[in-house]
Every structure is written in structure tokens, then in C-alpha cells.
């Protein structure tokens, strides 16, 4: 099944994660936001969200940038 990134384990949070996949997802979300701002949408009017892996990517983006 397609996903934002691979889930390598459902165990402990400190286990190995798909860091490359997570960063690719974060970069994709950032690119989409940048495209909206470049198209004239004020950045304070851009809303991001998600469900499951989407919210994970969004949350990581907001803490990463």
C-alpha cells in the first residue's frame, strides 16, 4: 500500500525509522507550501494537516524548518 514513508516497526519510538522517506515527505510538503505562496497565497493563509503518516509529515515539517 502506498505511504508517505515506510513504517519499519510498530514497537518502541526510538527504534530505527525510515529517515530518508520521512525527509522526502517533509520536502514534498514544503515544496507544495512554497508553490502555493509563490502562486500568491499569503503564507499566513496556508493551512497544513493530515491523518496518520500525513500528520506525522506535517508535524515533522513544522518542527524541522
pLDDT per residue as tens, the chain (65 positions): 456 666 666 676 666 777 788 788 888 888 988 999 999 999 999 888 777 776 677 777 777 65
Domain assignment present for residue 58? The answer is yes
pLDDT for 39: 97
pLDDT at residue 48, rounded to an integer: 80
Q: What is the pLDDT of residue 1?
A: 42
**DSSP state letter for 11:** S
Residues 22/26/29/34 CA torsion (nearest 10 deg): -160
Q: What's residue 38's pLDDT?
A: 97
Please tell me the total count of domains within the chain: 1
Do 61 and 24 meet the contact criterion of CB atoms below 8 Å apart? no
Residue 31 structural domain: 19-35+52-65
In a domain, 56, yes or no: yes
Amino acid at each position: 500500500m502506498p505511504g508517505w514513508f515506510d513504517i519499519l516497526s510498530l514497537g518502541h519510538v526510538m527504534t530505527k525509522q525510515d529517515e530518508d522517506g520521512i525527509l522526502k515527505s517533509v520536502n514534498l510538503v514544503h515544496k507544495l507550501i512554497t508553490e502555493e505562496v509563490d502562486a500568491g497565497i499569503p503564507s499566513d493563509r496556508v493551512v497544513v494537516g493530515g491523518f496518520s503518516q500525513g500528520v506525522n509529515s506535517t508535524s515533522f515539517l513544522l518542527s524541522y524548518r
